[in-house]
Every structure is written in structure tokens, then in C-alpha cells.
Structure 1
Amino acid sequence: MDLATLTLFLPACFALNMAPGPNNLLSVSNSTRYGYRTACVAGIGRLLAFAGMIALAAAGLAVVLQTSQLLFYGIKILGAAYLLYLAWQLWRAAPGAGTVAANAPLGILALTRQEFLVAAGNPKAILIFTAFLPQFVDSTHAVSPQFAVLGALFLVLEWIAIAAYAYMGLHMRRWFAEPRGKRIFNRCCAGLLSAAASVLLMARRA
């Protein structure tokens, strides 16, 4: 893979990583409620889901998702339902309930699983990997090593995005230290998650 390809790939990929979405919103919310470190560790769940999607795309198995209408809509409905569930939980959350200990193993595992399910429940993600990453693969050379490099770079940049959004949430925690501020923030996040669920429900196969 040459330098010119990487020069084009890195900024385009990072823009994709930094785009607001359900998982990045979760990083903000988790950092606000549980702390910066916990939000970053929870992001591992997202990375695992994306790594699996990249592996599927590299193996060409994403064609199944593109060609199977039932599978696509099934995943889409489940993903949207989970986002709505998270929105409902945030909407009903007590303003003083955001002080869960960051070192509690069960709390971290639950948040990691949450990140994984939100990422895995979005069929548009694997379609992005199928449509985006191959644009930077040179078909005249071995495809698998190139896909592995591009996938690894994507995950590194995604980790940076997780840290950036969690840092944003850390500052929001200072701004919304009062119960009323926490309630407003939780309900704003709930509204945005509901909007993301609505967008997901309207998504169509390419």
C-alpha cells in the first residue's frame, strides 16, 4: 500500500470515525455518568463489533447482508429497538444515579456490552465497511493484507474518536453537575438516541 493511498484514506476515515452517531453519543453519555476511563474501556465493545464487521467484509460475507432483505430488516429493527430502549432508560434515569463507581467490574462489562450491541445492531456499519474500505484496496496486489492494514487503521482512529467523545462528556459532567442539568442532558441524549433509531428504521439496502 503506497503513501498516496494512505494520505487519502486517513482523513476520510477519521471524518467517518468522528461523525456523530449512536456509539459516539454513548461515549459522551457514559463519560458524563461514569467517568472518562470507564467510557474509554467500554468503547472496546464497539471495537470488537467493528473488527468482526471488517472481518466479514474482508471475507466477502457482507454480500449476504446486502442480498438478504429479511436479514437486513431483522437486524435493523432489533438495532432500532435497542436504541429506543436505551433512550427510555436515559429519559427515566434519576439525576443522582450517575455516580456509579468507575471501578465496578459489572458496570464496565455492562457498558462494554452496550457499546457492542449498539454497534452490532446497525446494519449500515457493515455496509459502510463493504463500500468504503474496498475503495482503497489495490486489486492488483494481495487483498487480504491490505484489508487488514486498512481495518487496523480504522480501529485505531475509532479508538481516538472514542477518547475524544469521552473527553467531551467529561467536560459536560462538570457543566451539568446539578441534578437539573443532569436531567436535561439525559433527556437530550434520549432524544438523540430516539432520532438515531428513527434514521436506522428508515435505512434501506444499497
Structure 2
Amino acid sequence: MTPDQIPLLLLFLFPLAYSPGPGNMFFAALGARFGVAASLPATLGYHAATLIVSFAIGAGITVALVPTSRSFTMIQTLGAVYLLWLAFKLYRSHSPQSLADAHPATALDGAILLLLNPKGYLIMTLLFTQFPGDTLPDTALVATLFTANNMIAFLLWTFAGQTLSLLFNSPAAAHRINTGFAICLSGVALWLLLS
């Protein structure tokens, strides 16, 4: 990859990273519920997995995960079910018992979200069809830029969720925000199942 291709790569990634998707909705909800600082372990877990998986895709290791394969369909279904489970937990997070039991997502939760995110695999595959790494260092550079750009997008979504919860900080408003994010996550899950 030449230096003049980096701006093109970032321009290519902008709508993919910043548009609503499973990861963005999850981190916005996490930010609304726990704040940016408490969301950092999940962010780091998600993006450590992103770096590893995107490098593997760029190096051609995961050719079995083409969108028409059974492996991809299984990941898509598991990812949708996982998002529905997260949406249910978020919706119920207003109950007194759930408030007592609540804890921020962990690095493992973040990594699982990436591994069960078929949109992520599609984006990574598309990324390397447009910006193939001719060498392993090139592939590592593309994977690193992709991961860093994605992390910035997720932090912005997390911050937006936190800001939303600060603006509307009554219990009733928190319940409406959680319900709204639960509906968004459910919508993304249904989109995954139907696409």
C-alpha cells in the first residue's frame, strides 16, 4: 500500500464504520447504560478481535467465510440470536433486580460480539477486495488502519450513548433510552436473520 492510498482507504471506510450496525448499536447502548470509561474493556476486546480477524481475512486464511457458505450463515444466525439476547437484557435493565445485577460488558463480550458479527466479516472481505495487501506488512497496515478507524467510530457511538443518557437522566427517561436501544438492536438482529 502506498501512502497516497491511505486517504482513499479511510474515505472508503468512513460510511462502513460510522453507520448503524450491530457493533455501533451495542456500544451506543453500553455508553448510555455505563458510560464511556466502563465500556473500554469491551471496546478493547472487540477491536483486538477485529485486528486479528481482519488480518486473517486479508492474508486469505478465512476463505471459508464467504457469504454463501454454511459457516457464514451459522455466524449470521448466532450473531442475530446474540443481539436479540443483548436487546432483551437491555430492555429489562430498568427493573430493580437488573439494576442490582448490572455490570459493564467485558473484553470477552466485545470479542464475542465481533466474532458473531457477519456485517464485520462482509466489511473486512470487501475491504481487502478493494485494498489487497501485496505483502504481509501491507495486510497488517490495512488491518491496523481498519481497526483504528473502527475503534474511533465505536468510541463516538459510545460517547453519543453516554451523552444521551446524561441529557435524559431520570429513571423514566433511562427506561425509554434502554427500550429504544433494545428496539434498535432487535431491528439489526432481524435484519441479519432476513438478509
> What TM-score, normalized to structure 2?
0.88
Q: Give the distance between the partners of 2:67 and 2:180, measured in 1 at CA.
A: 36
The CA deviation at 1:162 is 2.1
Tell whether the 8 Å contact from 1:43 to 1:162 is kept in structure 2 after alignment. Answer: yes
Name the aligned partner's letter for residue 47 of structure 2. L
Within 5 Å, give how 1:2-17 maps onto structure 2.
2-17=2-17
Q: Give the distance between the partners of 1:90 and 1:122, measured in 2 at CA.
A: 18
Q: Give the distance between the partners of 1:74 and 1:137, measured in 2 at CA.
A: 26
Q: Give the distance between the partners of 1:99 and 1:182, measured in 2 at CA.
A: 15
Residues 1:126 and 1:64: Cα distance change in structure 2 (over 3 Å)? same
Match of 1:118 among 113, 117, 124: 113
The CA deviation at 1:82 is 0.6
Q: Which moved more, 1:18-27 or 1:60-69?
A: 60-69
Counterpart in the other structure of 1:28: 28
Tell whether the 8 Å contact from 2:65 to 2:71 is kept in structure 1 after alignment. Answer: yes
The CA deviation at 1:170 is 1.9
Tell whether the 8 Å contact from 1:32 to 1:170 is kept in structure 2 after alignment. Answer: yes
Match of 2:124 among 126, 129, 136: 129
Counterpart in the other structure of 1:104: none
Unaligned 5+ segments in structure 2 are: none
Residues 1:147 and 1:37: Cα distance change in structure 2 (over 3 Å)? same
Q: Give the distance between the partners of 1:134 and 1:77, measured in 2 at CA.
A: 25
Within 5 Å, give how 1:190-201 maps onto structure 2.
190-201=182-193
The CA deviation at 1:134 is 3.3
> What TM-score, normalized to structure 1?
0.84
Within 5 Å, give how 1:61-100 maps onto structure 2.
61-66=61-66, 69-94=69-94
Tell whether the 8 Å contact from 1:27 to 1:40 is kept in structure 2 after alignment. Answer: no
Q: Give the distance between the partners of 1:128 and 1:50, measured in 2 at CA.
A: 11
Aligned pairs, number: 194
The CA deviation at 1:57 is 0.6
The CA deviation at 1:95 is 5.7
Q: Which runs of 4+ in 1 moved over 3 A?
A: 95-101
Q: Give the distance between the partners of 2:47 and 2:129, measured in 1 at CA.
A: 19
Q: Give the distance between the partners of 1:21 and 1:88, measured in 2 at CA.
A: 17
Question: Matched residues, percent identical?
Answer: 29
CA RMSD between the two structures: 2.2
Unaligned 5+ segments in structure 1 are: 102-106
Tell whether the 8 Å contact from 1:91 to 1:190 is kept in structure 2 after alignment. Answer: yes
